[in-house]
Every structure is written in C-alpha cells, then in structure tokens.
Structure 1
Amino acid sequence: MKKILFNIKFASILAVVCLASCTKDFEKINTDPDALPNVPPQNMLINVLRNAGEQFGGDVDGYGTFAGYIVKIQYPDYMTSLVPGNNTFGNRWAACYYNITQMDDMLKKTADRAEGFKNTRTIARIWQNYMWSYLLDGWGDIPYSESLKGRPEDGSLLKPKYDKQEDVFPAVLADLKKIADEMDKGIGTDDVGDYDIIYNGDMLKWQKFCNSLRLRMAMRISSVAPALAKSTIEEIAGSNDKYPVLETNAENCYLYYQGTLPYMEPWYKTGINEKRIDNWGMFDIFIDYLKDVKDPRIASIAQKTNSGTYVGYKNGLTTSPSPLRSVSWIGEHYINDAAGYTPFYRSSETYYILAEAAMLGYNVGISAKDAYNKAVMISMEDNGVSEADAKAYLIDKGAFNDTKERIWWDMWVALFKENYEAWALYRRTGVPSTNYPSLNSIFKGKHNDQPWRLPYPNNEYLYNKVNTEAAAAGVVDQAWGKRLWWAKDNGKN
C-alpha cells in the first residue's frame, strides 16, 4: 500500500513539474519557427478581396431570382432559405463583417507606418465602405458605430447596438469623400501590385471606383435624402479631375480568377466544373422582356433551347421542364469561362446614374439622353454586341423616351450577374414591374413580392438578442413588413 501511495505521490509531483515546465515554454513550443509572427498587410488585403469574390460572386439563384433573372428548374425554389439560419444569407453577413474587421486590423497594425503603406491602406478603406454598403442594402439597420469594439483593447463591447441606416448612409458617404479628397492630393509610393487582384495596384482605377461607389450610394437614397444625393452627385459630376469615375469597360471593377482549381470563377466552378448548369433556367419575365425589346444582349445572357429559341421558365413551378433543354440556360458568356469574373461595379452603371440624375434636374454636365445612350453602348460592348447592332437597338425599342423607366429597364438588363445590385434596383424603382416571387413559396398567400430585405442570422439573435430584436421590430416573416429606408412602396406585400 505504501508503495502504491508513493508511486501516486511521485506521479503527482512529476505532473506538476512537467506542467510548470510546459507552461513556462508553452508559447515557444507552440510557435512555428517558419511562420511569420504577423501577416503582411498585402496578404491581408488579397485574402479579403478573394473572400469577397468567392462569397458574393457565387450567387446564381437567390439574388439572381430576387432580381428577376434566374430560376431553379430541377429543385423547386420555395423560398425556404429565408427562414433564419447562419448559412446562405447569414454567410454573407458574416463575410462582410469578416472583411471589415480584417481590414480594420490591418489598418491598426500599419498605423505607425501609414505613409509606407498608403496605397494598401487606401484600398482597404475603400473596400470596408463597399462592405458597409453591401450590409446596408441587404439588412438596413446594422451594427456600425460599435461594431469594431469587441477586443479588450477596443472596449470589449460584444453586443453592439444597431445603427439606423439613415444614419449610416451619410457616414459611409462622408468617409468615401474623405478618401476621395485624400487621393486627389496624391497617392502613396508602395506598390500593391499582384496583391491587388482587382486593379493590380492601379490607384487611379481605385480612385474612380471610390467616386463611382459614391454615385451609386447617393442615387440609392435620392428619394429619401434628396439634398445629400444631389450635392454628392453634382460634386462628382462637376469636378471630373478631382473626382474621376469609372467610364469604360477596361475600368470595370471586376475580380478575375486564375481559371484552375480552387480559383475558378464561381458560376463556372459550380455550373460547368461541378456539372450543375442544368439546375438553372432563365426567368420567364427576363426572356420575355429581352425578346419584346429585341435586345441583342440576349445572345450573351442566355442560351437557346433545344429547338433553337429563347424560352424562359416560371419561378417556383413544382415540376421540371422536360427536357431540361426546352428552356434557356444561362449564357455561356457568363458561365462558361473558368477565368471569368465577379462584377462589383460596371462602368455602364455610372452613365445610367447620370442619366437618372439629369432626369431629376441635377446639374451633371450631360443630358439624360446622351448619358443613357452612352450607358447602353458600354453595356453592349461588355456583352460582345457589335456597334451596328447596338445602334440599331437605340433607334428601335431601346430608344430613349424621356422617362426614368426606360433608364431603369435597360439598367436592369445591364446589371445581369451583378444580381445583388439588380435586386436593389428593383426595390428602389419597382423595375422590373413584372417581377414575382416563387409560385409555390412557403409564404404563398401572405406575400406577393420578392423579399424586401435579408433575414438577420440566427447568431445575431443568440448573441446579441436585445439589439437584434429591436432592429427587427416591424419585420414580418424575416424578409417583409418593414421596407428598407430607401425602398419604394410598389403596392405589393
């Protein structure tokens, strides 16, 4: 018995000694001698840009359906994804905040070397604001002013309040203007180069994207904050040297992919590489419209059926078309390029915005008709349409008719694949007016419109319950009830 007790006592002492030794050397033992102690700022930047492309570029249905473009043809869409969860739309929420916090961390780590990383930091700040705009367009009220204060050194604030979107929009626009003014005074000397997988370190293009994003956000709130929208758009349009904007397809804010696994364009990766292209067909309202106005972009946007025609499919039917090729699939221009792109902003959008601004009476230095025509020609070029066919469209069904609706309908076509922005266009303008939700939605009989907003993720209700429930007051069935601040009441529910 004494021997047993001695052995137990000795083992206990040995364990304490070992534990003390391990604790003393824990950090040394568990540190990879070949790993960098801090991630280089440029690596953090490329990680965030890549993450944004993969997270926000992979949407086919979902936003593509909300916008009136694409429908499921093999697995019926009953809108069950709108039931609160942490996947699907919750992933996008998490991705936005991940990208924002990663860039915030990088900015803090380089604060003492700000001048040496000036260009890298500028891109990071612009991208943060793009992420804020994404959150605003999906969820409206969001954690903003208290959202980056979770770490002990920042205040250990783990349950941030939700700021009203009408307060966040001006704040984001003000920060973008601050960046734009700084860029006008000069850029940095650091070469971002290949770490910038959008513009390859071309800071003039980033300057143009910054101002173009200001245009987009200002037009978004033009009906609810007309003074701010007008002053912002007129300031940019009236000083092109100081506030240049994206104007050509060569300047489009596109993230191109390497074209080999795992870095393939998301639509190609899912649709072609993983052989799921027959999961989707073109929304009937989209094909019907393109045919009605004789839009030559249809050949780029959609594939012909097995009978050599363009045919759309109704959203939410319970049966698949037979054969699957009897409806149009997504055009090869958009889905059949492994080294294709995720669009964040098209230069044609600049001129659609200026056309609408001119219609609103803003002084933008170009007539609504000229801006509209330029937007259409840029979009046609982007879709591989010949100049002759584009001009024929502009003197026929696509001719400008002095209405904002003509601008919006054509912009809807031009935004294809930029599905999230097209869904925002629909909610702001009501175009396409023919849009409708799944015919067999689980919300059938309660809601006859596409979703007005995205549901807050489950984790928000679990870990920030009081603030999230306050922000969601008035929201019905996660995606309806309370419209976003800037959205139009189109008479649907």
Structure 2
Amino acid sequence: MNSVLKKLSIPASAIILLLSSCTKNFDEINTDPDALNNVPPGNMLINVLRNTGESFGGDVDGYGTFGGYIVKIQYMDKLDGLIPTNNTYGNRWYACYYNNTQLNDLLEKTDAQVEGYKNIRMIARIWQNYMWSYLTDGWRDVPYTEALQGMPDKGSLLKAKYDKQEDIYPAVLKSLKELADEMATGHGTDEVGDFDIIYKGNMLSWQKFCNSLRLRMAMRISGVSPALAKSTIEEITGNKAKYPILETNEENCDINYPGALPYFEPWYNSGIYSKRIDNWGMFDIFIDYMKSVNDPRIAAVAQKNNTGEYVGFKNGLTSGPPVLRSVSWIGNHYINDPAGSTPFYKSCETYYTLAEAAMLGYNVGISAKDAYEKAVKLSMEDNEVAQTDITAYLAAGGKWNNTKERIWWDMWVALFKENFEAWSLYRRTGIPTTNYASLNSIYKETHDEQPYRLPYPNNEYLYNKVNVEAAAKEVADHAWGKKMWWDTRPVKIPHPGE
C-alpha cells in the first residue's frame, strides 16, 4: 500500500553517488543482527492487536467530540483536527493498513492446510475484516482490492485504486460469512493463548465476535441495502447454534491492559498518568441528555464538578472555563484505571441491533421491547449500576416507547468510550439530534454539524495523488461534502437553538 511504503525523492546526481559507493557486502552491512528474520505468527498477532488498542484506544477528543461526548476545556484550537496530516487521523489510516499488511504476512507464513495454524489464521482474518470496516467507516472510499500489494513480490503496486464503500461493504460481509461458516464446522487445535490479548485463544468468543461484527455492519447498511441487511441478520439470529453472537459483558471484545509501565490503558495514560485529565470536559449535550432522563450511568461516565453537580461544556469555544473544576470531567470508571480496557464491541450492542431489527420487521426471535431492555441492562451492569436503579430507569426516563429513537438515544449513551462507533451511530441516525460541530471551527460558517468523514492523509496526496483526488472529488473541506454510503440523513442537521 502506498501509504505504508513511502517513496523518497532523490536527485539523479545523488543516486549516482550512492551507486558508486555500494559494496558487495551491502546486504550484510544493512542487516540488523538483533532483528528476527522470521517473526513467529503469535508475535505478529499480538503486535497487531496491541497496535490496534494503542492506535484507536486513545480517542478522548476527536471521535469523542464527533460522537457528542467529550470537549476540550484547555488549549483550545481553531483547526479542530480537521486538516489532513499524518500526525492526526492519518496515523489511524496508516495503522489500519500496517495491521492488515502484518496480518497478510502472518497468513502467508502459515499454511491453511496445516492444523497447527487454523485458529491463529481465523483470528487474523477476522481482525483484517474489522480493520477494513474501520477504514471504510472512517474514510468511505479506500484502497481495498489493490491494497497491500506494495511489495516487490506483489508486483510493486504502490498506487492502489480506491474502491467504493458500496462495493467494500458486501465484500467484507461476504468474507465474514465465509469465516463464520468455517468456524461453525469446528476450531483448530493450535493454542493461541497469551498471544491473543483479547480472548486468550477462546475461539468460541472469536466466533461470536465474527457474527456480531456481521450484525453491526448489516444494520449499518439497512437503509441503503435492506435485502442484504435483512438476510444477514435473519441468517444469524435464525441459527444461533451455527452463528453464535456476543451476549454477555464477560464476552465484550476489548483489550485489557497490564496496568504497569509502559502498558497503561490509553485514557489513563493520557489523562491521569500524564497529569492532563483537566484538558477535557464533558460535552454539554451529553450531560444535559443524561440528566433529562435521570440516567444512572452518568456517575460512571462523568465526575461531578466543584459544586457537586454534573455540568457540561460547549464544544469548541475560544477559551475554557475560568475554573476548570466547574465543568464535569471524564468519569473515574473510564479514565482512572491503569488496567482498564479499550472496547471494540460491547455485547449490549448486539441487543440494540436486534431491537432495531425487530422494529424493521426482521425475524430475530425476540421482540423489540425485550431486546431493548436486555441491551439497557447489559450497559447498566457494565457501568456498575445497581439493579434498583436499572429498574427505576426502565420504568421512567428509559421506558420503552416503541420507537427506534428510544433505541438510538440509549445506544448513544451505552457506546461511551467506543467513540468511533458513537460517531457512526450519529452519522447513520442523526442521534443525538442536539449534536453540533466546534463553535470555533474555521469551517463553522459553512459546516455547523459534525464531520461526515475523516480527511484523507497527506501521504496519499503525495504518493497516490491521482487516485486520492478522484476519490475526494466530492469531498468538501476535507471532512464534509460526500457522506458515507449508509448515511441517509438530510444534508443539514439543525444546529441547537435553530
């Protein structure tokens, strides 16, 4: 992939000088004696999973703001992270392609016919598909069919074409179904163990994550590809013995950190350990909504301010509050545990999805009301809410009212810390309807809603210019213009107060 393999622009005279300086021992001189020539598959897997957690687990602002959760209250800036750069969202683009390149290498170094590699290969393939889903949900059209071919033995394809999101989604869902069918016939005999820092080699859990990821992706395209969405979801729920799904908090797909240097949970590391917790406050729309429905999860997601109240702050003002503690900070449950976790899929999401599917008339084997209440209970329990408070919430502010909006509002709260997913929920549904972009954005005169997409990184414009410019033809100001394929909202979401 062109973003992974960066070209160097060297004058011809310099090339001649370099060639004249070459020796017959070039390969020997340029070999690191301490580097492994052939990295074991287990080491490659743990490196990719660790890199995913570190690359995507620290989204305090950025996606936290896009999703309507967290805002800056110190060191305010006007750019709001929207100018393409490899130092911001470009790093996430790079991480996705790096991870999939490493997993490709793992798959090439193992043999699909050898029983001793069956499990690790299944995990690698599932995670590759997760990376593809992340890429296309962040940037829409991305290099897919021609990606990962920037090596000499791959034909040195350094300028990969961009595939359309409407082609990528069915392809990823097809790949996940093939994996789900394979896993339904049995797992391998290889012990992945501690090389798997998510499920410790528990292949049933990976099987459940594979099918749950299918549910997520199918529901996301339900408004633009209803036949594929319906058939995928009904296939899974119609045969849960063959296609098991994540249904308990113990099965959540997340990475738990050792809790000691250098492996602190990313939010703890950037907040508590680095003594920068006062950089962020809670988004006013998030606090205001939770207070309006008396949501007991507020005690987990936020801290009370210096007067004992939950108070949010506006997104993107030119300066922070005079007293930093007058605003609620991120809750200790989420930021004050060095051995905390980075979530990729919370099991409550399964039931929010089934509740919406039931509302759409899909045959999922559970009513919308029962699925919704199950989702709420799972989320509440994950936030250590007492049963009496769960019961009270379901009888009052969170009571089922037979609308998709009730599902989406509660799901928004439940996805806290899965900020990228919350941003996707907003882009698909328009919930929270109160969301708004930075009040200090340099684009606020033309775009008063959260970004539709992430900016293509600078390296793409440097090294894959023709292809990226074709893909970005309908993109406006890096992050607006052409929306996600599955984003069927009206072009403009009303700004609060309008």
Pairwise TM-score range, normalised by the shorter structure: over 0.9
Alignment map for 1:84-483 (pairs within 5 Å): 84-111=84-111, 114-483=114-483
User: Does the 8 Å contact 1:79/1:438 carry over to 2?
Assistant: no
Distance 2:114 2:147 in 1: 23
* 1:187 maps to amino acid: H
- Flag as ranges the 4+ runs of structure 1 deviating above 4 A: 22-35
Distance 2:239 2:112 in 1: 33
State the Cα distance separating 1:157 from its structure 2 match.
1.0
State the Cα distance separating 1:492 from its structure 2 match.
1.5
CA deviations over 1:369-415 (Å, ceiling 9, x no partner): 00000000000000000111101100111001000000000000000
State the Cα distance separating 1:279 from its structure 2 match.
0.2
Distance 1:191 1:260 in 2: 26
Alignment CA distance shift 1:308-1:180 (3 Å):
same
- 1:342 counterpart SS class: strand
State the Cα distance separating 1:75 from its structure 2 match.
1.7
Alignment CA distance shift 1:26-1:169 (3 Å):
same
Alignment CA distance shift 1:114-1:141 (3 Å):
farther
Distance 1:295 1:327 in 2: 18
- 1:254 counterpart SS class: strand
Name the counterpart of 1:13: none
> Structure 1 residues 372-381 or 155-164, which shifts more?
155-164
Unaligned 5+ segments in structure 1 are 1-18
- 1:343 counterpart SS class: strand
Name the counterpart of 1:10: none
Identity rate, percent? 73
Distance 2:328 2:188 in 1: 49
- 1:81 counterpart SS class: coil
Distance 1:197 1:290 in 2: 33
User: Does the 8 Å contact 2:112/2:118 carry over to 1?
Assistant: no
CA deviations over 1:311-344 (Å, ceiling 9, x no partner): 0001111121121000100000000000000000
User: Does the 8 Å contact 1:430/1:488 carry over to 2?
Assistant: no
State the Cα distance separating 1:491 from its structure 2 match.
4.0
Distance 2:325 2:36 in 1: 52
State the Cα distance separating 1:345 from its structure 2 match.
0.2
State the Cα distance separating 1:37 from its structure 2 match.
2.4
TM-score, normalization: structure 2? Answer: 0.93
> Structure 1 residues 291-300 or 113-122, which shifts more?
113-122
Distance 1:164 1:461 in 2: 18
State the Cα distance separating 1:35 from its structure 2 match.
4.8
CA deviations over 1:233-263 (Å, ceiling 9, x no partner): 0000111000000000000001000111111
Distance 2:126 2:444 in 1: 40
Distance 1:67 1:28 in 2: 51
State the Cα distance separating 1:128 from its structure 2 match.
0.3
State the Cα distance separating 1:86 from its structure 2 match.
1.3
State the Cα distance separating 1:79 from its structure 2 match.
3.6
* 1:223 maps to amino acid: G
TM-score, normalization: structure 1? Answer: 0.94
Distance 1:252 1:138 in 2: 22
Alignment CA distance shift 1:273-1:421 (3 Å):
same
Distance 2:378 2:33 in 1: 52
Unaligned 5+ segments in structure 2 are 1-18, 494-498
Distance 1:112 1:354 in 2: 34
* 2:230 maps to amino acid: K
State the Cα distance separating 1:30 from its structure 2 match.
5.6
Distance 1:322 1:464 in 2: 46
Distance 1:265 1:114 in 2: 36
Alignment CA distance shift 1:294-1:91 (3 Å):
same
> Structure 1 residues 81-90 or 161-170, which shifts more?
81-90
State the Cα distance separating 1:155 from its structure 2 match.
1.7
Distance 2:463 2:33 in 1: 37
Name the counterpart of 1:81: 81
Query: Which structure's CA Rg is the greater one?
Result: 1
State the Cα distance separating 1:78 from its structure 2 match.
2.6
- 1:116 counterpart SS class: helix
User: Does the 8 Å contact 1:256/1:265 carry over to 2?
Assistant: yes
Bigger share in helix = 1
* 1:234 maps to amino acid: E
User: Does the 8 Å contact 1:77/1:315 carry over to 2?
Assistant: no
Distance 2:115 2:487 in 1: 41
